[in-house]
Structure 1
Amino acid sequence: MSKSNFFRFERKNDFPFYSELQSPTLNLKSSLIFLIAVAVGFALFLVGFGGTYVQPFMNVIFPLAAVIFVARGHWTSLFRKLVAKDIVLILGTYIVNLIVTLGAGSIITKLFNVSANPVSEGFDGNFIEAIPTFLKMIPMLFGEELITILPFLVILSLGVQKLKLSRKSAVILAWIVASIIFGAYHLPTYNWNIAQAILGIGIARFVLLYPYIKTKNIWTSFIVHVLNDWTIFGFAFLSSMHH
């Protein structure tokens, strides 16, 4: 894999599972296992399976089990050690993502009818009652990383192996499609508002995938995701205190 197949912004490590060099390589069967695990986890999460304490983990348990089942000892390739320069990357992406999220949100609000996020609506200014909501976001957002990054890796391997795309083209395809999929996950949250979910959330997810694509480390995009959502819902909580 020559350097020209990598984007300039990428670190010199590579994605797992997508080519003959990255063992184990995803085939049709293992790709389906990944996607079915994502779908099952998401469906159980959506119906509130397991109640208050178990539901936030649904998108973690099934996708992670699928990775461990398929990749055996290589399952840890989703995770890498955080290094000092990741701090700059995380903070930089967090700021850009907040600007993009708020900017896209205000444009979409002007152009379309939008629905409020039920979590934001659920705050009543009580700090103690709000704490569990913020803590539950940790496993929920880690699950959201898994159910975005696994389809990303499946599309990447499909692009390289079956569509015979160059690595760069396959990364771009996977980046766009995974962002759209992530937006689609939010359709039930926003009353099936396509503009709000696919455009608004999808654009924010496109930014949020950048640290993962740069580092191949799920921890980087996860930390940005937590900072981003805690900030947005933190503002929602603060405004609930003034009502």
Structure 2
Amino acid sequence: MREHQFPAMPGLNDSDYYGLERKSAGDFPFYRQDPHALSGRSWGLILLGVALGFAVMTAPIGFYTTTAGGFVPAILFPLIPLAVLAMVAGKGWRALFRTPTRRDFLLMVTIAGTNILVSVTVALILQHVFKMNENPVNSVLVEASNTARILFYLKTLPQLFGEEVVSILPFLAILWFCHEKLTMTRKQALISAWLCTALIFGALHLPTYDWNFLQCFLVIGTARIILLSGYIITKNIWVSTGAHIINDWLLFTLMVLLHGGGHAGI
């Protein structure tokens, strides 16, 4: 996809950037000043699209349990909110996507490795304090055939991309609200949006982990903070998506090879 960069907006100084960001990547799209800012109504529609995509993904429909049917919600999950974004932003929706560079691929691996190290450490510490629930995917993959495992890995490609879409769009919406409506500084709005997105992401995983609030908000939320850094650094959704795929595929594969429980997948 053709690269769309948003250079620093007028009035945006070097001191406004958060320390992790690549200044060469420019500013975030859609949240400040014309012509790229979206209205409150537009953000409301986008968030409805995010909610609809998640509802379709998690709907208890029998067809989803079939081999082919499982790909349908995984594809609609990111497609629905992106379609709404395209409706309200026109061609501007492409601003989420940039052509990854070699430097970006190295960053994906670094973020995935960091996330695995930090998430496992947090999980090991917290399991001494409260019960940790296993991801139900673990037992399914251990007992699955190699063909079923391959199909599962393929299905996770659009699904994990969807998790980035439904994280980054709310992140940008909160960034807009904090900066434009609450008149926070850019750094304050960025950090607020980053933390709020982690809480939202953790909440989305509550059904998966049997409504274990501490596990979802502390372990899964921590993982989202790290994975979202890929987008914050580069303004490129492919970077956070790539890091997420590497992260989960490594954990799934390790779990299968060990034939054990573990906490595979974020």
Specify the TM-score bucket, using the shorter chain as the normaliser: over 0.9
Equivalent residues in 2 for 1:1-243, closer than 5 Å: 1-12=12-23, 13-21=26-34, 23-49=35-61, 51=64, 52-123=70-141, 124=143, 126-240=145-259
Q: 1:125 Cα deviation (Å)?
A: 5.7
Q: 1:66 Cα deviation (Å)?
A: 1.2
- Equivalent-residue separation in structure 1 for 2:236 and 2:49 (angstroms): 21
- Equivalent-residue separation in structure 1 for 2:149 and 2:216 (angstroms): 25
Q: 1:111 Cα deviation (Å)?
A: 1.4
- 1:92/1:53 CA distance change after superposition, 3 Å: closer
Q: 1:11 Cα deviation (Å)?
A: 1.5
Counterpart secondary structure, 1:110: coil
- Equivalent-residue separation in structure 2 for 1:103 and 1:117 (angstroms): 17
Larger helix share, 1 or 2: 1
Tell me how many residue pairs correspond in the alignment.
241
Q: 1:48 Cα deviation (Å)?
A: 4.3
| Aligned residues of 1:116 and 1:190 also touching (Cα < 8 A) | yes
- Equivalent-residue separation in structure 1 for 2:155 and 2:122 (angstroms): 26
Ranges in structure 2 where 5+ consecutive residues have no aligned partner: 1-11, 65-69, 261-266
- Equivalent-residue separation in structure 2 for 1:174 and 1:125 (angstroms): 39
Which residue of structure 1 aligns with residue 263 of structure 2? none
Ranges in structure 1 where 5+ consecutive residues have no aligned partner: none
Q: 1:127 Cα deviation (Å)?
A: 1.9
- Equivalent-residue separation in structure 2 for 1:240 and 1:102 (angstroms): 18
- Equivalent-residue separation in structure 1 for 2:146 and 2:219 (angstroms): 28
Report the AA paired with residue 88 of structure 2. Answer: V
| C-alpha distance after superposition, 1:49-71 (max 9, x if no partner) | 56212011232121111111111
| Aligned residues of 1:125 and 1:238 also touching (Cα < 8 A) | no
- Equivalent-residue separation in structure 1 for 2:250 and 2:148 (angstroms): 17
- Equivalent-residue separation in structure 2 for 1:92 and 1:200 (angstroms): 19
Report the AA paired with residue 173 of structure 1. Answer: S
| C-alpha distance after superposition, 1:16-61 (max 9, x if no partner) | 000014x331221011011101111101111145621201123212
- Equivalent-residue separation in structure 2 for 1:176 and 1:67 (angstroms): 23
- Equivalent-residue separation in structure 2 for 1:130 and 1:145 (angstroms): 22
Compute the TM-score of the two structures, normalised by the length of structure 1: 0.95
Report the AA paired with residue 14 of structure 1. Answer: D
- 1:48/1:133 CA distance change after superposition, 3 Å: farther
Which residue of structure 1 aligns with residue 3 of structure 2? none
* CA root-mean-square deviation: 1.6
Counterpart secondary structure, 1:114: coil
Counterpart secondary structure, 2:32: coil
- Equivalent-residue separation in structure 1 for 2:255 and 2:33 (angstroms): 47
Stretch deviating more after TM superposition (117-126 or 211-220):
117-126
Which residue of structure 1 aligns with residue 67 of structure 2? none
